[in-house]
Amino acid sequence: MSQPTPTLQVLQVFSGGRPCGWLGSTPGGFWFHYAGNGQQQPWASLLMPPTQNFYQQAELFPVFEQHLPMGANADPQNAQQALHQLQQHSGQALGPLTFANPDAPVVKPPLTVPPPLAPGQSALVSSQARKPFANMQVHHPSTWPLVQQLRELKKQVDPQNRLIALRWATEAELSGSHVWHPRPNLDPYHQQLLGFERINSLLNVSLAGFMQLAQQGRRFELVLHELARSFCKHFAAEIALLQHLLPWLINWQLQAYVVYRASPAGGGFAEVEQTPQVMGLQYVVAGT
């Protein structure tokens, strides 16, 4: 007689392959606790600085919800289902976070060959041998017209390439049966993953709530402007590009993220607090 599958109540969370903390469920919702609170502790979220205290809330924290697969019947309010989905699809979503069952850890190597994709689907693929993470993103070829539009818009609105936004589109190509481009949250100089947080996480609202906000027109626009002013160095340029992308964001053809690195490039002095350095906004094809 087979034994029932043990209930999954806790996941170990990693950021860029480094231990980050623990994500668990209770009858009242979810909790997260950092592995440590020192200066070298990687942050899970820009709104969740390292601390010795527990973070708790009824719904799954938005920064973890963004790692649930789109369209896979993943319910962020169902604790057991959400934790199982996070473990099962670990490493398949954009962002530096991965998840493991501490009682049965499994190392999942990145894909090296793109899987068959339907319209609206994408995948992360490694084109480099022995890399612990994928460095490329591939899409169904139906996205190619949109990617071409984004490339031209990037050249028009940001000709000096000051913004990190849409740099991936300038390097995209249609090859075979896939659209290929560098992973949007990859630091090409240090070959490491950057922090990548969907902007609804910075509002601490669920994806469903954020999609409702997107239908409120002018209010949605003003919220995005305020986020750019609050988090981005070149906020005027960010807002100028954002205005052109607004129709795609409202129609959910694009999703917006904040990109950051855990600490300023070059490290700095040991006594300087290693707070994340926001690099700007990034936009990716929805459903990725």
- Edge-to-edge strand ranges of the sheet holding 97-100: 55-57, 29-34, 18-26, 10-15, 97-100
- Please check whether residues 169 and 281 belong to one and the same domain: yes
User: Do 165 and 46 have their domain in common?
Assistant: no
Q: Are residues 80 and 211 in the same domain?
A: no
Q: What's the rounded mean pLDDT across residues 275-284?
A: 94
Q: Is 92 in the same domain as 133?
A: no
Point out the domain boundary residue: 68, 100, 132.
Answer: 100
Which has more confidence, 146 or 206? 146
Q: What is the pLDDT of residue 272?
A: 45
64-78, 190-204, 241-255: range with lowest mean pLDDT = 64-78
pLDDT computed for residue 275 by the predictor: 82
Q: Is the pLDDT of residue 2 over 80?
A: no
Higher pLDDT, 138 or 274: 138
Average pLDDT (56-78) is: 80
Per-residue pLDDT tens digits for 246-265: 999 999 999 999 999 875 44
Number of domains in the chain: 2
**Pair of tokens at residue 246:** 């607004």
In the chain, the percentage of residues whose pLDDT exceeds 90 is: 69
145/219 same-domain check:
yes
Q: Is 287 helix (H, G, I), strand (E, B) or coil?
A: coil
E strand segments, 5-73 = 10-15, 18-26, 29-34, 55-57
Is residue 134 a part of any domain in this protein? yes
Identify the pLDDT of residue 287: 67
Which amino acid makes up residue 271? E
Identify the bridge partners of residue 32 per DSSP, sorted by sequence position.
Answer: 23, 55
Residue 109 has pLDDT above 90, yes or no: no
Residue type, position 6, single letter: P
Higher pLDDT: 189 or 238? It is 238
According to the model, what pLDDT value does residue 267 have? Answer: 44
pLDDT of residue 263: 55
What pLDDT digit, counting tens, does each position of 167-200 carry? 999 999 999 899 999 999 999 887 889 999 999 9
- In-domain check, residue 106: no
Domain for residue 48, yes or no?
A: yes
One domain for residues 189 and 271? yes
Q: Are residues 128 and 95 in the same domain?
A: no
Q: Is residue 2 in some structural domain?
A: no
* 203-228: average pLDDT: 93
Range of 63's domain?
Answer: 10-100
Asked if residue 156 and residue 75 are part of one domain, the reply reads: no
The answer to the question of residue 276 being in a domain is yes
Handedness of CA 135, 18, 89, 44 (dihedral sign): negative
pLDDT at res. 284? 97
Query: How far is 235 from 238, CA to CA, in rounded Å?
Result: 5
Q: At 156, phi and psi to the nearest 5?
A: -75, -45
Residue 157 domain-assigned?
yes
In this structure, are strands 55-57 and 97-100 parallel, antiparallel, or unpaired? unpaired
Same domain, 176 and 269: yes
Q: What pTM, to 2 d.p., does this model score?
A: 0.90
